Amino acid sequence: MAGDEYLFSGLKVLDVGTYIAGPVAGTILADFGADVIKVEMPGVGDAYRMLSALPVFPDADANYMWQMDARNKRSLTLNLKSAEGVEILHRLVADCDVYITNHPLSMRRALGLDYGDLAPLNERMIFASLTAYGEEGPEKDREGFDLVAYWGRAGLMDLVRTGDSPPAQSLPGMGDHPTAISLYAAIVTALLKRERTGKGGRVHTSLLANGLWSASCIAQAGFAGGNYQNYRIAHQSAAFGRSLYETKDLRWIQINMIRTQEEVEQLLGAVGLGGLLEDERFATPESRAAHGEVLVSLFQDLIRDRDSDEWMALFEREGINASRMSIVEELVDDEQVRVNAMVVPPAEPAVGMPHVINHPVNVDTVPRVGPKRAPDLGEHTDEILGDLGMDAARIARLRAQGVI
């Protein structure tokens, strides 16, 4: 496919950020054909380049996090603490369509790279800002990753634990990736507005805002004047439909989708506990809720007698909507993941992985570029500066001075 046939072919994007949430909004634009230039510090680069190599993460030959999230971009090294570095960035800003940043607000102010500083250079620019806690308020200058601002600060960490069990940290990127989708949506919305008005503008979101949105089905109760006492009491005790059940092979079964009286009768009958429905303690939803701990214990004792494969075969045969909790290694061979292009082969072998996880924005009539190798640090610096009209001698001088 020709390069000009992608939806965002010709769109010029500056990715002036680090780690995940901000830059991945640029990755999605790049997947749809945008020319995304990732601006990094000379000699240092985005620290995210090194994350998957840390010993606390799964071992692999490929730099899998970086290849997944920095694909389809070009890398420019630029020292934004130098006057010439900022001047070069200003020249790029004057000709860009989208400027993405998740640098702390205090850093932007210190470097003269806030929206108010850059907007006069290009009235058509979309300035996309990602912060941890929002653009205003007493916490606006606080730095934070998603495990803090999205997971801990928004209440999700507290809400997902069972009873009085200790809270658990989130996975790397667990809040960043959905937040990147929000920032991408804001950018595309602003691009549509620019199409109609000719004017750009600032768009923004935060990790806290996205964490609150993820928790909103429960969090909204508080903003409705609700009382959480009964909710918390209910979630401290065992409930039949809400509990997880461990099998003989130490896997876990979910029956959350079994909700109606008919479905409960079908399940209990299939596993040989149909007689429980004649017991007044378990005959109705209300009585089952009142005696939840007993019912959960009985069902758990039964489920633990067989391996999960046996149970899943029985449930499928009986048409029962129960599920087995997956472990992430199984997704590699998951047909459902493959046939829906949730993972795809890379567009070039240099990616170093047989499949790359896709972002979840799907439009049937809008093709994607396909995952190409993430850039080495500063790989495209000479090329990008050459496009600005700089000759080899000036580029060499800038490199010697540590500007690039």
Q: Same structural domain for residues 83 and 185?
A: yes
Residue 150 has pLDDT above 90, yes or no: yes
Q: Same structural domain for residues 189 and 244?
A: no
What is the rounded average pLDDT of the residues 2-15?
Answer: 88
Distance of CA 204 to the CA centre of its chain: 16
Q: Same structural domain for residues 8 and 152?
A: yes
CATH code of 359's domain: 3.40.50.10540
Q: Same structural domain for residues 203 and 251?
A: no
- Report yes or no on 308 lying in a domain: yes
pLDDT at 164: 79
- Report yes or no on 334 lying in a domain: no
Q: Same structural domain for residues 195 and 118?
A: yes
- Report yes or no on 232 lying in a domain: no
The domain boundary residue, chosen from 295, 329, 363: 329
Query: What confidence category does residue 145 fall into, taking pLDDT thresholds of 50, 70 and 90?
Result: very high
Query: What confidence category does residue 233 fall into, taking pLDDT thresholds of 50, 70 and 90?
Result: confident
pLDDT per residue as tens digits for the range 293-326: 999 999 999 999 999 999 999 999 999 999 999 9
Q: Same structural domain for residues 29 and 49?
A: yes
d(CA 359, CA 335): 18
- Report yes or no on 85 lying in a domain: yes
Q: What percent of the chain has pLDDT over 90?
A: 95
pLDDT per residue as tens digits for the range 185-229: 999 999 999 999 999 999 999 999 999 999 999 999 999 999 999
Structure tokens at 336: 């459902």
pLDDT per residue as tens digits for the range 152-162: 999 999 999 88
Q: Same structural domain for residues 39 and 118?
A: yes
* Adjacent-strand bridge partners of 245: 253
> What is the residue range of 321's domain?
238-329
Residue 383 has pLDDT above 50, yes or no: yes
Cα pseudo-dihedral 327, 333, 335, 340, rounded to 10: 90
What is the rounded average pLDDT of the residues 114-119?
Answer: 98
Specify the pairing of strand 35-40 against strand 201-206: unpaired
Q: Same structural domain for residues 205 and 264?
A: no
Average pLDDT, the chain: 96
pLDDT at 237: 83
Query: What confidence category does residue 2 fall into, taking pLDDT thresholds of 50, 70 and 90?
Result: very low
- Report yes or no on 162 lying in a domain: yes
Indicate the number of domains in the chain.
2
What is the rounded average pLDDT of the residues 261-284?
Answer: 94
Q: What percent of the chain has pLDDT over 70?
A: 99
| pTM for this entry | 0.94
- Report yes or no on 49 lying in a domain: yes
The domain boundary residue, chosen from 271, 301, 329: 329
Q: What are phi and psi of 88, to 5 degrees?
A: -65, -45
- Report yes or no on 227 lying in a domain: no
Q: Same structural domain for residues 80 and 211?
A: yes
* Adjacent-strand bridge partners of 127: 99, 202
pLDDT at 335: 97
What is the rounded average pLDDT of the residues 220-241?
Answer: 92
Residue found by looking up tokens 């506990």 in the block:
273
- Report yes or no on 106 lying in a domain: yes
Query: What confidence category does residue 3 fall into, taking pLDDT thresholds of 50, 70 and 90?
Result: low
d(CA 39, CA 81): 13
